[in-house]
Structure 1
């Protein structure tokens, strides 16, 4: 029985070929609902469409928050360091990056890379390292680190990481019926065994075992833009649940690890909050997700509610026994000479739960005001006849099922599992009762791409503002590992015979070149 999808129940009478009238160009004025220009609603939209479009404060950032917003921006845009005092201290002992802009060039999506270098601006790649059952290696952090401060050594020697871009030919020979062709590529990543500083271990059901190198799997996931995440956080949990229920009742294949039988099978941590963020839906409320997490674990900068390193015990054991690390440890960390037993002092430092606070509460507050206060760029050219035509076709062939155009935010009650921010915290920008246009259902689906994302399940990425990526970041790469260099390539990666979007791609292939191009123009306009 075809699992695929949604279109069978919700779009039973659509998905037909366009008639002759659809092929006629129109010069008639296009009527656009005024609200549709406001992608982030009245409280979350900026009408700046320059190269600074992704970094604008939302109207919800009032005068009382303006200075804090700029300070938070300052923390996002600068590197951390090892200085014992002054600004941006606290880097290390291990890091994924030295600062935020490396992963989020000009606040946008990461760029496609041909080599893995953490210090290269625009490299938004995070390594996803598992065994052959998609279980993360427990000897590495979930976001594996390739940088370290002296005298420590990185868990992975990034100079030995190899990214190969492979050509892929789909069942249609990468060609539309009218003869237009396209190309598809995907990455394969290899890391030799001698690049790992730690043993390759996996923990299942409380038991830790070694993983043969032959069973280690490495994939890439790139970062997405950080703008508009406060608006997605404002979507009410019950409204999100209603979307899942609707799709389940329609026979849509949902990730049973997230939702089944009308209810959540997994929520965030020890909370009842639904999972919203990251491709893997590993994070819940924004105040304990995305930037709130990254400002700590990417750079290992501690704060009052996280006074410990982003670190594995396996790494701490290996480093504490490393004679080269031991030889210089007290030189770089004199205050840690607490017992005279260097192995013990190293291990205790790396595993400590009461480290000094490196990012003050006030600075963290400013960072989150900035993060939650980033606006979404307004839609553009919606009154253009070609864009309007693309919009209608986008809906007609069923793309709006996963890329749901609109949501209305709830009362925007602040959720923070750490308790740092209160439910009605006046310090943070809020977006109550806003009609927004993110073009995502916030649900995971499967595309069955070659060398697919870990587990195969991937949250529908919001499309808002992405058409400005080339202008803002210098690249327009799309999908979870930047395999799509253009919108057209991203669309065609949805076409696997098992893909949840297969029916839409079949209909897309029936369109004329002008109609296909109109859909691309529409996607770039929103």
Structure 2
């Protein structure tokens, strides 16, 4: 039986932020040099690093101490995969800067499938039928608009096309998740709502009721900063209204989700798990108030526990599985990974399950392995735009504030990806995503109180910051956090609590000039 083990003493790892290793032991030996358990990365065909490469990587990813000039290659957010920073809404829709001419064709075909509008069955358009019967969107692009962030509703009348509610209930006896609990230490047992499944769908094909309508309201809280500036934080309340299949379970836990931006996913997937795990410190043994934890989830494809990397709580191990889960839950499309043609319909939604489906023809599934691979390739190769204004004195001052207030404790600036045999775009690149890929307790105000894998109801994965300054340009709004409640970068910072309360308080106490510089730095990313 595979288990998760937490190392009991600090690792002396030069050039890293610091922490402790959490790993899945899959029969792979423990490194004698660093006493770090080796986490298997079965999704990557890697070429081992040499000792000389490891030393170079430690040096080049060490935290900056000189803020008089940019670091070498800092403007290249994604290494050789970086793309030029466009000034229009397509800034997040470019292929990796180092992609080959031949692979760019696959990228474009994948883009077509990402944008494809699915239709209900039966249909004369056999390659496009299978929608729903209940769904949140008819295409991937419908939520990830322009490959950027989704748009949360402004009010109860707004059509929340890029937002939905995940739902689950406690599994107190360990019933549905018993096998996963045996395989993964620390796994929090939950199960779908017995009627509504694992998420609520606000659309349905003809003849079927939608599951719900999302109602949202806000109350405002004014926070006064040290210089007297006032920042208003809006506290959302979410209601699942007009439920189409009766009431939710009395213990139902709801979590609002806005679609995140898509850039740089392949590079995040190519980071060595050890480079992530070395930063974990679940018991805060170093006393810095930061206790990042790894989410470890069961891989349907590789049939083993893996490091969670994707999703707002790091609930998916690979882009392929994240894509397949989105097809199933968001659009109701079957894949070789999640094979049910009726998507998220529960066993108590008999009419939904019995509705015509689009699988069973030559494709076998509503999107076959070739199509799923193309969408995955597209998602893996959405390019990260280059930094702007890296030499600007205000941006450099803001970088110093970012580092000195302790933001890098979670938003780890840089990594070098693995050498990969079959992914040249992501292989051995110095990247600057500003994330540790770990779970952190962000306090009660941001809590959704819904666990996912090993993530508790107050924990969220540190989101990457690359491209964040282009949000308004791409998405036509500047809403941040998991549910879009923050209407600016400053609001997003002030919402930080829990492990990040100390960093937030330092920002609140900043003089105006330094706070403005911090925002200028974030906008340059």
TM-score, normalized by the shorter chain, greater than 0.5:
yes
For the 8 Å contact 2:271–2:416, the answer to whether it is kept is yes
Judged with a 3 Å threshold, the aligned counterparts in structure 2 of structure 1 residues 507 and 75 are, in CA distance, closer, same or farther, namely: same
Equivalence for 2:212: 157
CA distance in 1, matches of 2:444, 2:487: 15
Judged with a 3 Å threshold, the aligned counterparts in structure 2 of structure 1 residues 175 and 224 are, in CA distance, closer, same or farther, namely: same
Equivalence for 1:476: 478
For the 8 Å contact 1:55–1:107, the answer to whether it is kept is yes
Aligned length: 430
Report the more deviating stretch, 508-517 or 87-96: 87-96
Match of 1:191 among 236, 240, 243: 240
For the 8 Å contact 2:199–2:344, the answer to whether it is kept is no
1:384 is aligned to 2:417: no
Alignment of 1:454-469 (within 5 A): 454=450, 455-469=457-471
SS at match of 2:314: coil
Alignment of 1:154-303 (within 5 A): 154=210, 156-158=211-213, 161-169=214-222, 174-192=223-241, 195-197=243-245, 200=248, 211-212=249-250, 215-244=251-280, 249-251=285-287, 254=291, 258=294, 268=299, 270-289=303-322, 291-303=323-335
1:437 is aligned to 2:438: no
Alignment of 1:35-434 (within 5 A): 35-82=73-120, 83-85=123-125, 88-115=128-155, 120=159, 123-131=161-169, 135=190, 136-154=192-210, 156-158=211-213, 161-169=214-222, 174-192=223-241, 195-197=243-245, 200=248, 211-212=249-250, 215-244=251-280, 249-251=285-287, 254=291, 258=294, 268=299, 270-289=303-322, 291-309=323-341, 310-317=343-350, 319=352, 333=356, 356-412=364-420, 426=422, 430-434=425-429
CA distance in 2, matches of 1:307, 1:40: 35
For the 8 Å contact 1:189–1:219, the answer to whether it is kept is no
Equivalence for 1:420: none
What is the TM-score with the length of structure 1 in the denominator? 0.74
Residue by residue, what CA displacement relative to the aligned partner does 1:380-409 show, whole Å, maximum 9, x if unpaired?
A: 111000000000011011011111111111
CA distance in 2, matches of 1:374, 1:429: 14
Residue by residue, what CA displacement relative to the aligned partner does 1:257-276 show, whole Å, maximum 9, x if unpaired?
A: x57xxxx6x55453242111
Shift of 1:81: 1.4
CA distance in 1, matches of 2:483, 2:330: 19
Equivalence for 2:506: 507
Shift of 1:68: 1.5
For the 8 Å contact 2:149–2:261, the answer to whether it is kept is yes
Judged with a 3 Å threshold, the aligned counterparts in structure 2 of structure 1 residues 63 and 273 are, in CA distance, closer, same or farther, namely: same
Rg comparison, structure with higher value: 1
What is the TM-score with the length of structure 2 in the denominator? 0.74
Judged with a 3 Å threshold, the aligned counterparts in structure 2 of structure 1 residues 111 and 373 are, in CA distance, closer, same or farther, namely: same
Shift of 1:254: 4.2
CA distance in 1, matches of 2:208, 2:363: 18
Report the more deviating stretch, 48-57 or 462-471: 48-57
Shift of 1:471: 0.9
CA distance in 1, matches of 2:253, 2:305: 32
SS at match of 1:53: coil
Equivalence for 1:14: none
RMSD, aligned α-carbons: 3.1
SS at match of 2:236: strand
Residue by residue, what CA displacement relative to the aligned partner does 1:316-359 show, whole Å, maximum 9, x if unpaired?
A: 33657xxxx9xxx6xxx4xxxxxxxxxxxxxxx79999994332
Shift of 1:429: 5.7
CA distance in 1, matches of 2:292, 2:384: 29
Structure 2 unmatched runs, 5+: 1-16, 19-66, 172-187, 451-456
Residue by residue, what CA displacement relative to the aligned partner does 1:79-132 show, whole Å, maximum 9, x if unpaired?
A: 2113332553321222121112221121111123135789x5x73212033458
CA distance in 2, matches of 1:392, 1:451: 27
CA distance in 2, matches of 1:239, 1:43: 20
For the 8 Å contact 1:308–1:353, the answer to whether it is kept is no
Judged with a 3 Å threshold, the aligned counterparts in structure 2 of structure 1 residues 123 and 429 are, in CA distance, closer, same or farther, namely: farther
CA distance in 2, matches of 1:353, 1:70: 25
Task: Return the structure number with greater relative CO, CA threshold 8 A, min gap 6.
Answer: 1
CA distance in 2, matches of 1:353, 1:255: 46
